[in-house]
Amino acid sequence: MTIQWFPGHMAKARRQVQENLKLVDIIFELIDARLPISSRNPMIDEVIHQKPRLLILNKADMADESETRKWVQYFADKGQTAVAINSFEGKGLQSVTKAAKEILAEKWERMKSRGMKPRAIRAMIVGIPNVGKSTLINRLAKKNIAKTGNMPGVTKAQQWIKVGNEIELLDTPGILWPKFEDQEVGLKLAITGAIKDAVTNMEDIAVYGLKFLSIHYPNRLEERFGITSVSEDLVETFDHIGKLRRVFGQGGEIEYDKVAELIIRDVRDQHFGKLSFDLVDEQLEKETIQEK
């Protein structure tokens, strides 16, 4: 689904999240495990004030496992609980319930000590488009409830979905916009297919992917395309891949747009294995520079 995020739509989405915020004890912020920074809403902290939050790194089945472990630790170091799951196959769902209970344990204890009866934890999922919100709701509910493609601003009666005895989940997820004004973030969202409709052209996305692989995963690039670096002259690299994979037009010429599509497809279909495009070390480096 494509949402054109005009300022009016952003305000509406934000308002909708903020209205539902009042109904819940905790926010489940869904992010893409391959992009734990780039797939977060840039204004999340402003949209969600003073609510306990659990970060859920979804699509962990597609991310570099060692990187995901480092991300969970990165967030822990900042005092934020994060869990990695695969909603598609329903893996790691228990960790969501467990972490939510731990985050709210003190509050629940306080309520009990005041003589209040313990009740289910009320939660709402928020995240950018296509991050897997509906898939997770359906997995937690163990049935098909959430229609994929809820548009912000479309109001309907809210329902609570029971997740075991311990959690009640709002059936409508909050959709927030990504950081599309940052070009590199746009490229990362595009190369992973995190956002289907590319903000930039296919060749730019493919070149970004190749360069990223040559720096961070050169062995995998060599295995698939027989190169470890991308030449200054990009035509040379595209020619090489085009010939290797026989991407010829009718006159025998190499079709560069098809080569670009092939590279992107290879990344998305995991022919380079599990990949993470936001890397903890790079993020820490950025933060050190910002602090100076």
Ligand X SMILES: Nc1nc2c(ncn2[C@@H]2O[C@H](COP(=O)(O)OP(=O)(O)OP(=O)(O)O)[C@@H](O)[C@H]2O)c(=O)[nH]1
Which residues carry a binding-site annotation for GTP?
Answer: 58-61, 86-87, 130-135, 174
Annotated binding-site members:
58-61, 86-87, 130-135, 174
**Of the two residues 60 and 230, which places its CB atom closer to ligand X in the complex?**
60
Are 79 and 55 in contact by the 8 Å Cβ rule? The answer is no
Closest distance of CB 271 from ligand X, Å: 15
Residues in contact with ligand X by CB under 6 A are 1, 58-59, 61-62, 86-88, 127, 129-135, 148-150, 175
Residues in the chain: 292
What single DSSP character describes residue 254?
B
Closest distance of CB 159 from ligand X, Å: 16
Neighbours of 134 (CB within 10 A): 21
Residue nearest ligand X (C-beta atom): 132
Task: Give residue 246's region: left, alpha or beta (phi > 0; psi -120 to 50).
Answer: left
Q: SS3 for 170? A: strand
**Of the two residues 147 and 286, which places its CB atom closer to ligand X in the complex?**
147
What single DSSP character describes residue 36?
T
Phi/psi of residue 240, each to 5°? Answer: -60, -50
Closest distance of CB 2 from ligand X, Å: 9
Are 247 and 259 in contact by the 8 Å Cβ rule? The answer is yes
**Of the two residues 62 and 96, which places its CB atom closer to ligand X in the complex?**
62
**Of the two residues 195 and 227, which places its CB atom closer to ligand X in the complex?**
195
Q: How far apart are CA 244 and CA 263, in angstroms?
A: 12
Phi/psi of residue 62, each to 5°? Answer: -100, -10
Q: How far apart are CA 8 and CA 58, in angstroms?
A: 28
**Of the two residues 13 and 185, which places its CB atom closer to ligand X in the complex?**
13
Closest distance of CB 1 from ligand X, Å: 4
Closest distance of CB 7 from ligand X, Å: 19
Q: How far apart are CA 102 and CA 108, in angstroms?
A: 10
Closest residue by Cα to residue 47 from 74, 97, 3, 12: 12
Q: SS3 for 98? A: helix
Closest distance of CB 97 from ligand X, Å: 17
Are 185 and 178 in contact by the 8 Å Cβ rule? The answer is yes
**Of the two residues 2 and 201, which places its CB atom closer to ligand X in the complex?**
2
